[in-house]
Structure 1
Amino acid sequence: MKRILFIVLSSLLILVGCTPTNDNQEPTTTEIKSQVTPVNTMVSSLVFSELKLSKSSNEMFDKTEQKKNELYRLQLAIKNISEDNILISAAQFKALTSGGKYIRNFPTLDELGQAVEAKKQITEKIYFALPKGQTIEKIIYEDKDRAAYQEWKVSSK
């Protein structure tokens, strides 16, 4: 009887240990007092709106990066007003830091990278890893294939 109980409990522990986990948890964010302007912008058949910049959790960094970098998240809504699907990715965005350097996006699993269907709107996120003590001065979108360019100024409220 003890053997059967041991086998059942061992099997149960193995099953519990093998259950899938949700590794795609959204990092926690704390809002910073930044305003991205202009709020609504049309750029080559895309309407960008609801731009919100926030300081994000550094859980995506390894321990050495956590000491020297801070993670910022830009959330925005993108509406395609054309009759065609438009490809857009986080790699088309960069940030100008208060240190005068351009920073490319910090790649994550849940970042922007898809086709925006005709006449549809999506809400997506883009991450930037900045050296500690610096802030984002501007957000820049540039799509060389479609000759689209836009800058948004970031200011404290």
Structure 2
Amino acid sequence: MKRILFIALSSLLIMAGCEATNDVQKPAEKEVTNQVTPAQTTVSSLVMSDLKLSKGSNQLFDKAEQKTKVLYQLKLTIKNSSEDNILISAAQFKALTSEGKYIRNFPTLDELGQALEAQKKITEKIYFAPPKNQTIEKIIYEDKDRAAYQEWKVTSE
């Protein structure tokens, strides 16, 4: 009886050890950095520079969105070179995806949205959330009130 009990416990211990060593490890996720060109652009009295597109934290999504979308953060510096205040917001930016679809910015609390005072410079963030199977090909700024338009090409480094 002791022998059967010993064999049964040994078998359980071996099986438990095998399960612990068969963990499937996820490959390390490669950090995506993207170059946005041209690096500095003047668009109707606004000098936009230091544009950097990188993956953002998916914690801004709810659980369902985390499965289907990827969050990208566009960080940029904007200088108002005019003598007047200029209203600028993240809603004036959109992205063109690899499947040829335009997507609007993903609204967050810390995004761009203010009156930029004359001769002032700010650094702000804008977020985009394309589907997981798509990448961002272009960033587009369009202010219809001021007839301002600019697009930047996005390439992976």
Name the TM tier (shorter chain): 0.7 to 0.9
Q: Which runs of 5 or more residues in structure 2 are unaligned?
A: 1-29
Relative to the length of structure 2, the TM-score reads: 0.80
The answer on 1:81 being equivalent to 2:73 is no
Moved over 3 A (4+): none
d(CA) in 2 for partners of 1:143, 1:33: 27
User: Helix, strand or coil: the match of 1:111?
Assistant: coil
Q: Which residue of 2 aligns with 1:120?
A: 120
Greater share of strand residues, 1 or 2? 1
Aligned to 2:4: none
Unaligned runs of 5+ in 1: 1-29
- Measured at CA, do residues 31 and 115 of structure 1 come closer, stay the same or move farther in structure 2, by a change above 3 Å? farther
**Deviations 1:115-156 (Å, cap 9, x if unpaired)?**
111000000000001100211000000000000000000011
Aligned to 2:146: 146
Partner of 2:15: none
State the Cα distance separating 1:31 from its structure 2 match: 5.0
Corresponding residue of 1:54: 54
Say which SS state the counterpart of residue 130 (structure 1) adopts.
coil
Distance of 2:68 and 2:59 partners within structure 1: 13
- Among all aligned residue pairs of Structure 1 and Structure 2, give the percentage whose two residues are the same amino acid: 78
Partner of 1:37: 37
Look up the SS of the partner of 1:70 in the other structure.
coil
- Offset of residue 33 of structure 1: 2.6
Distance 2:75 2:33 in 1: 14
Deviations 1:67-104 (Å, cap 9, x if unpaired)?
00000000000000000000000000000000110000
Amino acid at match of 1:37: T
Deviation at 1:34, TM superposition (A): 1.0
Secondary structure, in 3 states, of the residue corresponding to 2:115? Answer: strand
